Each structure stands twice: as C-alpha cells, then as structure tokens.
Amino acid sequence: MADTKATPKTDAKKDIDAPPALIIEFKTTNGEVWGSITAAAKEFKTGSVGFYANGKVKNPKNGMAYQVGTNIILIGSKP
C-alpha cells in the first residue's frame, strides 16, 4: 500500500532581495493621484510570503473614501 502522508515541499521560493515594504500609489488613467498605502512584508498563515496592505484612499474631487485591501504573494513561495 502506498504511503499517503504529504511530503513537505522544500523548494519554496524566498526573495532575499525584497524590501521590507512597498508603497502602492493609486492614480486615475490621466495621472490624478487618489492616495497611497504601504504594503508591509508578511509571511501568511499558509506559509506563503509576500506583502499585505489595507487602508483607504479618497476621491480628490468629492472626498468619498474607498476601502483598499491587497495581498501580494510571491509565486511559488507556498511550502
């Protein structure tokens, strides 16, 4: 009978040259800036690595706020 235990993956990617944070800027197609958020480096519960950010940006014309959330995952980093 074959062994059904999962074998841990040991070739998960890590980016040693990645910065500790990224600045994400939101602009319209004509260059009008709505705001920016900082995405901090993170190791996710799954074991993947990348960046995570959440925050708000505002429409500069009317002040209405938009909630922003993003995960930026290094492809191949899940163990």
Give the model's pLDDT for residue 13: 85
- This prediction has a pTM of 0.79
Name the average pLDDT for the chain.
89
DSSP code of residue 20: S
- Indicate if the pLDDT at residue 7 is higher than 90: no
pLDDT per residue as tens digits for the range 19-52 = 999 999 999 999 999 999 999 999 999 999 999 9
